[in-house]
Amino acid sequence: METNSYLNFRLDGKVAWVTGASYGIGFAIASAFAAQGATIVFNDLSEEKYQKGVEAYKAKGITAYGGVCDVTKEDQVQAFVKKIIEKFGHIDILVNNAGIIKRIPMTEMSASDFRAVIDVDLNAPFIVSKTVIPYMIKEGHGKIINICSMMSELGRETVSAYAAAKGGLKMLTRNICSEYGAYNIQCNGIGPGYIATPQTAPLRVKQPDGSLHPFDAFIRAKTPAGRWGTPEDLQGPAVFLASDASNFVNGHILYVDGGILAYIGKQPK
């Protein structure tokens, strides 16, 4: 039976590069793509981290390809993309997932720390996208998904660099849509809410008296869903944005946040 494109969530025959996808959100997204038939490519900063990622995919029955690449270095990105093209002939899906955060009050943050966050969270998606887009144009299609954040819309203490980078990434997403939509390239963003990952685990540790960590309690109270998200919560939205089902969705940021951005919070008692 013929499947209409707007119902087609399969990714058979597609090559998907998910940056920094050895673990966490990137790993969950890449695993979902693989389940839908895509070939997975990922990178990490060291051979040790990359091999750990390969083994993690293998444990899920996924053969993943790629290698070491620093996505802030244009020459490394160009060489990495060339390697992908030589092996597979095309890149159909790009997820700019690699990112860092430095939680430092703004007046105490050095300019070098600020630049480091901007470099990974904003400059790298620019570098990777500008390298991949010409190949997508040549193929006549492409999907780019930028991992934004609620900090694309909100500010909070200690995350000035991260919020600035993610706000910039939101606008880069819209500009890629504006500039390359005519080439059948869709560029959208996913804005995760607070996700339970190894990095956020210290914020969810129970206190000695059995109570919630203050930040854990804060997030639960601010989230209508009443819980942290999981990396798996991002899989469906990512597959949608990577598939033919989203062919007329472009320049959009899909917030997967349990409702935080829609909620003003409870009235104090």
Q: Taking the alpha carbons of 164, 216, 227, 57 in that order, is the dihedral positive or negative? A: positive
| Residue 126 bridge partners (DSSP) | none
50, 57, 162, 255: the active-site residue: 162
Q: Give ∠ CA 22-60-121 in degrees, rounded to 5.
A: 20
Active site residue 162: yes
Q: Tell me which residues are annotated as active site.
A: 162
